[in-house]
Chains A and B, each alone.
Chain A
Amino acid sequence: MTTWTQEGVLALAPDSGSAKSAQGLAAARHWSLLGRDEIALWGGILGSGSKPYQARVDLREPAFKCSCPSRKFPCKHGLALLLILAREPGAFARQAAPDWVRDWLTGRDQREEKRAEKVAAEPADPKARERRAEKREERIDAGLEQLQVWLGDLVRAGLAKAKSQPPAFWETMAARLVDAQAPGVARLVRQLESLTQSGVGWESRLLHAVARIELIRTSHARRAALPTALADEVATAVGRVRTQDELAVEPTVADCWRVLGIAQEFEDRFKVRRTWLWGSRTGRPALLLDYAVGTQGMEAGPPVGFQFDGELAFYPGSAQLRAVVRTRAGLPRAAKDTLATSPSIADALADYADALARTPWLDRYPLRLGGVRIALQRAEEGAQHAFMVDSTSKRLPLPAKYPAAWHLLAVSGGDAFDAVGEWDGEFFTPLAVVNGAATYGLADGSPALRAMEAA
């Protein structure tokens, strides 16, 4: 049985507004009905409609459903139910689930089974599939040839000129790549534009990004000569979508997976969520990627500092980072073991170098830094820059606008702590701080820091 903490629940909130509203509703007195059984919670609460809203939580995932009109997911009612569970578990009456809860749970289970059946079913018409694949390869080749010319023009004219190009300059090339069924490269081309506006050091950043695209392009051109794993990685980088069926045949890795950190960012019209996992027994990282369009919500996953037993299917390729959860045994629970960290920044970077050797266009990698402190260095113009300094007095810079640097300093008081974050070759972005067994996610700032302080 998971023990939900207030911090764990709030980490599921889609934004700070939802977290705040949920806290306002997280008292039994607001609810006309509060019930639970082994796998679900449910509750009734009067909102602005005439009938009470019916909120329900499947504790196994957790998954949420509510009859309220909110487009936030999970909505404040579902979060509030979990918060009440954390604060006053006795408020729920143990009883048989009412129909509106049972029907939902049954529907979810059936969908899950169907998915599993579909995965087990034989692929239909292998010949037709092969023809489609050939056709797609032709299109991609054509698209990447155009890209080669475009990249050549870019560097012939000089990257300094790229800074003043209109949005259409980038967008036209990206759109062509999407048409050529190379959405992965299209995404990288779109990112180039924002890099020209990324402040001090943009020149080097932009050339690294151009180099990544060129690497993927030439690798794709030579794919026949590449080892299978690398060829698969190239295909993913170009933007080949791996269907559930394809992933189903990949071998799975069973472990106790711990959520290291969660990064969320907006990219174009998409919200992207990167959940970094760490296998306690295998000692390997894994990355779960989720996308949502616009304000649409995402299925909540286990929060930072939680772990679950289960099997991951890794995307085929050399990186062996991106994965999907194939099976999960039991509920996620708060991690109890101490997280293994790299003893120094140099050691952590050696792991990163190995990962780069396998996948040279890797854009970010999770680091687990042990015993680091925050150091501040005054820049000439007065703004201060924050660094992580390890026990060997080597440092990694934090992003210039990293919002929680002062909070980390306030909470650590200048003492050493363990931190998990993403390294992109230039900056280290802390995603979570670790204190013994407990991990505190920094995505939604304050709850995590409060917990770190209390520990």
Chain B
Amino acid sequence: MRLELGGDWSSLVVTAMLGCERSFVMPALPAELSPLADEGDAPEQRLLEHAALLSPWSLAGYLPQPGSCDHAASAADTQRPANSIAAVLAPEYQDLLPEWCAAAARANCRVPHHLLPEFLDRMAAEKSPAMVAAMRAVLGARGQWLALLNPDWRGAAPPADARIVWEAGTRSERIALLQQLRANDPALARTLIASTLETDEPDDVAACLAPLATGLTPQDHDFLEGLLDARNKPVRSAAARLLAALPQSARGDRLVQWLAAHVRFAPGSAGFFKKGRGAIEVTIADNEDAIVAKALTRDGIESAKKRGKLGAKAHTLLQVVAGIPLAWFATHWQAKPAELIDAALGGEWAEAMLFGWSEAAVSQRDAEWAEALLLTFTDKAGAIAGGLEGAGLGGLLRLLAPDARERFLAKLLGDRPAAIHEAGMHQLLKAADHAWSAAFSRDFLKIVRSHYLKETSWDLRAQMKRLAANLSIQSAAGIREGWPTEAAQWTAADNEMLERLAATLELRSNYLQELTP
């Protein structure tokens, strides 16, 4: 004898909610239960009695509802599970995630199933598209299957049909889609943006152009050149920024013409013992020709706006230099970056030239220029290095190959170990986000140990926790030794730093061992 859940019980709940003062509709008891009731008492006693009889009656008669599993079972995984991700998912070790994902992908490993929910939560919160792609690579078949079932994890799921996402997606979903497409079908990304160019909000268009920086090729040139005619300024600037990264562009040619008309480079005299310094001469009229100014505006250059301590003319020069392919200087001015920088430093337009070259180096990913500029900014031009925008010196250091980065940093620290406490150095170290060589790690730790307490070290302490992700794992041996632990200034927080450093290195060597291909 089973009773449908609902029915009598539901009506009784309604009566009880309203209270028997107001509601006198007492649902009748089922025939089987009515002989058990006294029914003689006050309404509230009758209500309680009905509840006492109906409650176990309805619970015992609970009928499971029909239901099916809409989702098909997951495909089998081919990759090997790697349990070391458990420790890496702890908040204090988030800096290790890129290394873990890269090593796991190389070793054909994946996140074990029981940790997928935590991993997918982290992935959903991740902003960097490169990191999301790296994380997707270690999800395995199960992880991709699971991501599709939870709306919160949709970003982690394998991409759906691009055109549907483009038509129906929000701005951030579109950007994520473009970032994925640029890796394997760059032309489709461009086509999608072009397809809705007329109808989209200009701000959306500008935001969607940024992902084109990934996988940028000469094939993008004509599309971007066309966008310079857009009515909206953010769209023009976004297109101009992308064109500046191309080695060859009509915009670059136009800017070269402007430069040739306004800037002259006089090479230094080539003596045997002493080289004369070259010179850079700049002539910009106070009232530029209106047609020229309009052409500059089309190319995304703001000729009337100041930047920091730079006036409008210097700012214009900076933007023009930033938009010229760096190879042009080598071929037409016949000089190496170091000579040109030296010449610029001798003149009154030094900041504009140096900042312009820096921006060009970053957008064109030119390691030779980056190194020359870094050497200048950390030496002769140290006073103006703070005026760099974007990632600053870190942005330049990132362009260097790992060994060049280490050579540069080793020299810098060797010359002036006290710089270990300076914010500029921390910016550079943060940019050196590759796996450090054993030799550089050793030299670096030696300097840190001997200079650790020379200044208030709270900032360096925080840096060390982070840099533990980059140090060579060979540093683990004897990592606790050689620190000024006996000094009066050594505190519990320093002990904690040291423990974290040691624990991070141990954790890394453990998982790198697990993730050996």
Interface positions of A (Cβ within 8 A of B): 148, 151-153, 155-161, 203-204, 207-208, 210-212, 214-215, 218, 345-346, 349, 352-353, 356-357, 360-362, 373-377, 382, 384, 387, 389-390, 393-396, 406-407, 409-411, 413-415, 425, 446, 449-450, 452-453
Q: Which residue of A lies closest to B143 (CB)?
A: A410
Per-residue CB contact flags for chain B residues 7-26 toward chain A (1 = under 8 Å, else 0) read 00110110011111110000
Interface of A is mostly: helix
Q: Which of B56-81 contact A (CB under 8 A)?
A: 56, 59-74, 81
Contact A159 to B17, CB < 8 A, known contacts A375-B70, A394-B66:
yes
Q: Which residue of A lies closest to B69 (CB)?
A: A375
Q: List 12 A-B contacts (CB under 8 A).
A: A152-B42, A152-B48, A156-B20, A158-B16, A158-B17, A207-B12, A212-B52, A215-B56, A361-B56, A375-B67, A410-B117, A410-B146
Whether the Cβ atoms of A210 and B48 lie closer than 8 Å is yes
Whether the Cβ atoms of B114 and A411 lie closer than 8 Å is yes
Q: Once bound together, how far apart are the Cα atoms of A207 and B86, in whole Å?
A: 44
Whether the Cβ atoms of A211 and B64 lie closer than 8 Å is no
A155-B48, A155-B51, A453-B113 given; 16 more Cβ-contact pairs under 8 Å: A151-B44, A158-B16, A207-B16, A210-B16, A211-B54, A345-B64, A353-B61, A362-B56, A393-B67, A394-B66, A406-B116, A406-B117, A410-B143, A411-B113, A413-B145, A449-B113
Q: Once bound together, how far apart are the Cα atoms of A239 and B49, in whole Å?
A: 22
Whether the Cβ atoms of A215 and B55 lie closer than 8 Å is yes
Q: Which residue of A lies closest to B71 (CB)?
A: A414
Which chain B positions have C-beta within 8 A of A346? 63-64
Which chain B positions have C-beta within 8 A of A410? 113-114, 116-117, 142-143, 146
Distance to closest chain B CB from A441 (angstroms): 13
Which of B12, B48, B55, B112 is close to A450, meaning CB atoms less than 8 Å apart? B112
Which chain A positions have C-beta within 8 A of B52? 211-212, 214-215, 218
Q: Which residue of B lies closest to A356 (CB)?
A: B60
Interface positions of B (Cβ within 8 A of A): 9-10, 12-13, 16-22, 42-45, 47-49, 51-52, 54-56, 59-74, 81, 83, 86, 112-117, 142-143, 145-146, 149-151
Whether the Cβ atoms of A155 and B113 lie closer than 8 Å is no
Q: Once bound together, how far apart are the Cα atoms of A208 and B59, in whole Å?
A: 9
Most buried by A among B52, B61, B113, B114: B114
Q: Which residue of A lies closest to B117 (CB)?
A: A406
Which chain B positions have C-beta within 8 A of A396? 64
Which chain B positions have C-beta within 8 A of A375? 67-71
Which of B70, B115, B142 is close to A376, meaning CB atoms less than 8 Å apart? B70
Contact A155 to B74, CB < 8 A, known contacts A215-B56, A410-B146, A453-B114:
no
Nearest 9 pairs of A and B residues by beta carbon: A158-B19, A395-B67, A449-B114, A211-B55, A394-B64, A414-B73, A360-B56, A413-B74, A211-B51
Whether the Cβ atoms of B20 and A450 lie closer than 8 Å is no
Distance to closest chain B CB from A46 (angstroms): 15
Q: Once bound together, how far apart are the Cα atoms of A425 and B5, in whole Å?
A: 11
Distance to closest chain A CB from B81 (angstroms): 7
Q: Once bound together, how far apart are the Cα atoms of A453 and B110, in whole Å?
A: 13
Whether the Cβ atoms of B55 and A158 lie closer than 8 Å is no
Which chain B positions have C-beta within 8 A of A373? 69
Whether the Cβ atoms of B67 and A394 lie closer than 8 Å is yes
Contact A415 to B68, CB < 8 A, known contacts A208-B55, A349-B62:
no
Distance to closest chain A CB from B426 (angstroms): 30
Which chain B positions have C-beta within 8 A of A415? 73
Whether the Cβ atoms of A160 and B17 lie closer than 8 Å is yes
Contact A212 to B150, CB < 8 A, known contacts A155-B16, A425-B62:
no
Whether the Cβ atoms of B43 and A414 lie closer than 8 Å is no
Whether the Cβ atoms of A384 and B150 lie closer than 8 Å is yes
Whether the Cβ atoms of B66 and A393 lie closer than 8 Å is yes
Whether the Cβ atoms of B60 and A414 lie closer than 8 Å is no
Most buried by A among B17, B48, B83, B112: B48
Q: Which residue of A lies closest to B50 (CB)?
A: A211
Which chain B positions have C-beta within 8 A of A361? 56
